[in-house]
Structure 1
Amino acid sequence: MSDSPGVPAPPPGRRAEPLQRLLFGGVYGTVLASGLAAALDHNNGQPDPGYDAVWVLVTALASAAAHGYAHAIAHRTAGEATVTASTARSVLTEWPLVAAALPTVAALLGAYAGWWGENGAINVALTINTVALFGWGLWAARVAGRRWPAACRAGGVDVLLGLFIIGANVLSK
């Protein structure tokens, strides 16, 4: 229902879309940043956490742009002459993916500033990201109308993604 008389309410699917993009971008960006952080390996050279932070951010930006562009192209109709504005809007709506990568970037920049070593930054980022994954799963389930126990289970499943990345990191090194 709309608050204004005579103005129809937006369809339920369109109203939920921004929240769905936020939740999708949050989970996807968190997993992406975790995977990138876990992949950092400097066995052949000196660690450079500033360089690594820039590349995590650039990869998140490129992933967001690619996803937004692909989404725009997938929804393009044959009759549209130009999709420049809608494509730009679609790319800009992927900001949650980039925002979710910022804790990892911040941890690496902390290592660059000398607050801790790069391995410590990676451990901090993976821990924060795993906790964030629980939060994303919990929030998504609550938004979907699930009760607290089911929402906690959903958060727990998301935590498994983080633990998988941590386990793969440990096993690969």
Structure 2
Amino acid sequence: MPVERPARRGEPLQRLLFGGVYGSVLASALAAALGHEGENPGYDALWVALTAVASAAAHGYAHSIAHRTSDDTQVTASAVRSMVSEWPLVAAMVPTMAALLGAYAKWWGEESAIEVALTLNMVALCGWGVWAARVAGRGWAASLRVGGVDVLIGLVIVIANVLSH
């Protein structure tokens, strides 16, 4: 008979916030690394999408294994549920994929797509930080500071992108 575990309060919100921040940072890093005018932005968008799915699956699987007990009989189902619950990581990478697909459709150049993606991801990082701090019960001033620190992560990626080109 399977053992019922108590539900962890707040876990869906924690996964949403974690996935949002992690996905935004990962998408920015990938966009900065892949963005070179003249290459195929469609291929780059596909690479970002595959990385998003692989990262979500790896994190979900690791999370499932870390919380597995010796009497778990539904290991496969539990692992699949854990991997699917990492959808926020994939969703956070959609703006970067959309910007690259816009470049593939010739709506703008790939360099412009990278700039838009990095900007959107920095704004998203600020939002994720503010939201996480507000959920944790912090006031607006403290929450905005947390959001500002998250933006610094994005700025490090932008600076690295500028220096590498």
Q: TM-score, normalised by structure 2?
A: 0.93
Aligned with residue 29 of structure 1, among 23, 29, 34: 23
> What are the within-5 Å matches in structure 2 for residues 1-173 of structure 1?
14-42=8-36, 46-173=38-165
What residue identity is the alignment partner of 1:75? Answer: H
Q: CA distance change for structure 1 residues 105 and 67 in 2, over 3 Å: closer, same or farther?
A: same
Given that 2:19 and 2:89 are in contact with CA atoms closer than 8 Å, whether structure 1 keeps it comes out as: yes
Given that 2:130 and 2:143 are in contact with CA atoms closer than 8 Å, whether structure 1 keeps it comes out as: yes
Residue ranges of structure 1 left out of the alignment (5+ in a row): 1-10
What residue identity is the alignment partner of 1:22? Answer: L
Aligned-pair Cα RMSD in Å: 1.3
Q: TM-score, normalised by structure 1?
A: 0.89
Tell me the distance in 1 between the aligned counterparts of 2:68 and 2:9. 20
Given that 2:128 and 2:147 are in contact with CA atoms closer than 8 Å, whether structure 1 keeps it comes out as: yes
Residue ranges of structure 2 left out of the alignment (5+ in a row): 1-5
Tell me the distance in 2 between the aligned counterparts of 1:121 and 1:95. 23
Q: Note the alpha carbon deviations across 1:30-74, whole angstroms, 9 max, x for none.
A: 00000000001548xx31001100110100000000000000011
Q: How many residues align?
A: 160
Tell me the distance in 1 between the aligned counterparts of 2:48 and 2:127. 22
Q: Higher relative CO (CA 8 A, sep ≥ 6), structure 1 or 2? A: 2
Larger Rg: 1
Per the alignment, in what secondary structure is the counterpart of residue 134 of structure 2? helix
